[in-house]
């Protein structure tokens, strides 16, 4: 009987501890997520529940301008499977511009596909920060040089207070880079015929070179005809005709330098002040 009572006590203990353990895990996860997104502005949703790509909390452009930019962004996203986001705020608080852009993008679920492909442009008016953050395939699409060009080109308009022109420039350059990356990744019939034509031309040139070398060649009756003065050995030496060479392939760097956001997601990007 005492043994049976102990078994009952153990069962009851597990029956209480297991639900408490599950509650603690869920609560801790919720606290972690809340801490990561704390201090961020809320995203904007459309009527169908999708994330709106233009979030202008600093009120830098008109509603009509927002709608036009959003229309263009939707078209780009559907074509190249990469998100474009514009976010304007008054201050990043305790975060840097990079940290704010990364956290806003990650914790609100922006991006396309499993890797959350996309790029965000952040404008913070307190310190006149501009930051471009990339995620997923966009890290490869937008190199450090591309990001520097975005910062330079957009800052030209931002410093003059022409915010809409800066956003248009951002969308234009992003579309151009995404299009270039897309076209480079597909093998079209046109590319096939170009490669075939180049191969045929190069092959013909090689064969022509061999043929020209053989024009002056004619058969001789004896071996002595190939040497006018006879064979004389004037010098001898040992020459190694084989050697072992160690080679190391140097990979060409592509994309931008990366860092990890507070969520653990890898990001590229860069920015400055205007």
DSSP string, 198-259: HHHHHHHHHHHHHHHHHTT----SSGGGG-SS---------------------PPP-S--EE
Three-state secondary structure call for residue 260:
strand
Buried b (16+ CB within 10 A) or exposed e, 108-120: bebbbeeebbbbb
pLDDT band at 19; cut points 50, 70, 90 = very low
The percent helix, strand, coil of the chain (3-state, each to 5) is 50, 15, 35
The order of strands in the sheet holding 83-89 is: 54-56, 83-89, 118-124, 129-135, 266-273, 258-260
How large a percentage of the chain has pLDDT more than 90?
60
Q: Which residues contact 32 (CB under 8 A, 6 or more apart)?
A: none
Which of the residue ranges 9-18, 40-49, 51-60 would you say has the lowest mean pLDDT? 9-18
* CA–CA separation, 29 and 18 (whole Å): 17
Angle at 109 between CA 103 and CA 114, to 5 degrees: 115
- Average pLDDT in the chain: 81
8 A C-beta contact, residue 171 and residue 153: no
Mean pLDDT of 241-266: 69
pLDDT band at 38; cut points 50, 70, 90 = very high
* CA–CA separation, 209 and 220 (whole Å): 23
Reference 261, options 40, 99, 131; nearest CA is 99
Position 49 pLDDT exceeds 60: yes
What's the number of CA atoms in the CB half-sphere (13 Å) around residue 34? 6
Q: What is the H or E stretch that residue 190 is in? A: helix 189-214
pLDDT band at 205; cut points 50, 70, 90 = confident
User: Cα dist. 3→16, 17, 221, 234, 267 in Å?
Assistant: 20, 21, 113, 107, 59
Phi, psi of 179 (to 5 degrees): -65, -45
* CA–CA separation, 154 and 150 (whole Å): 6
Reference 89, options 53, 124, 132, 115; nearest CA is 124
Position 151 pLDDT exceeds 70: yes
Position 238 scores a pLDDT of 60
pLDDT band at 239; cut points 50, 70, 90 = low
Position 248 scores a pLDDT of 47
């Amino acid at each position: 009987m005492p043994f049976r009572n102990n078994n009952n006590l153990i069962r009851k203990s597990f029956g209480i501890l297991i639900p408490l353990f599950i509650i603690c895990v869920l609560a801790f996860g919720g606290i972690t997520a809340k801490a990561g997104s704390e201090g961020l502005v809320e995203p904007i949703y459309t009527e169908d529940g999708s994330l709106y790509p233009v979030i202008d909390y600093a009120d830098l452009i008109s509603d009509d301008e927002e709608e036009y930019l959003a229309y263009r962004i939707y078209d780009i996203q559907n074509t190249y499977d990469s998100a474009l986001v514009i976010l304007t705020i008054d201050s990043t608080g305790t975060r840097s511009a990079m940290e704010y852009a990364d956290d806003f993008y990650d914790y609100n679920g922006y991006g396309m596909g499993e890797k959350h492909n996309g790029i965000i442009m952040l404008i913070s008016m307190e310190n006149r920060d501009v930051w471009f953050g990339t995620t997923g395939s966009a890290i490869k699409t937008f190199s450090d040089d591309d990001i520097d060009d975005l910062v330079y080109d957009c800052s030209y308009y931002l410093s003059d207070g022409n915010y809409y022109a800066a956003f248009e420039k951002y969308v234009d350059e992003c579309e151009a880079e995404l299009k270039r990356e897309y076209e480079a990744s597909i093998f079209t019939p046109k590319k096939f015929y170009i490669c075939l034509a180049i191969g045929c031309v190069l092959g013909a040139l090689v064969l022509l070179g061999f043929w020209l070398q053989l024009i002056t060649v004619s058969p001789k009756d004896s071996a002595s005809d190939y040497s006018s003065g006879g064979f004389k050995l004037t010098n001898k030496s040992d020459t190694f005709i084989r050697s072992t060479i160690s080679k190391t392939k140097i990979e060409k760097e592509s994309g931008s330098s990366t860092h990890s956001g507070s969520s653990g997601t890898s990001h590229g990007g860069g920015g400055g002040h205007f």
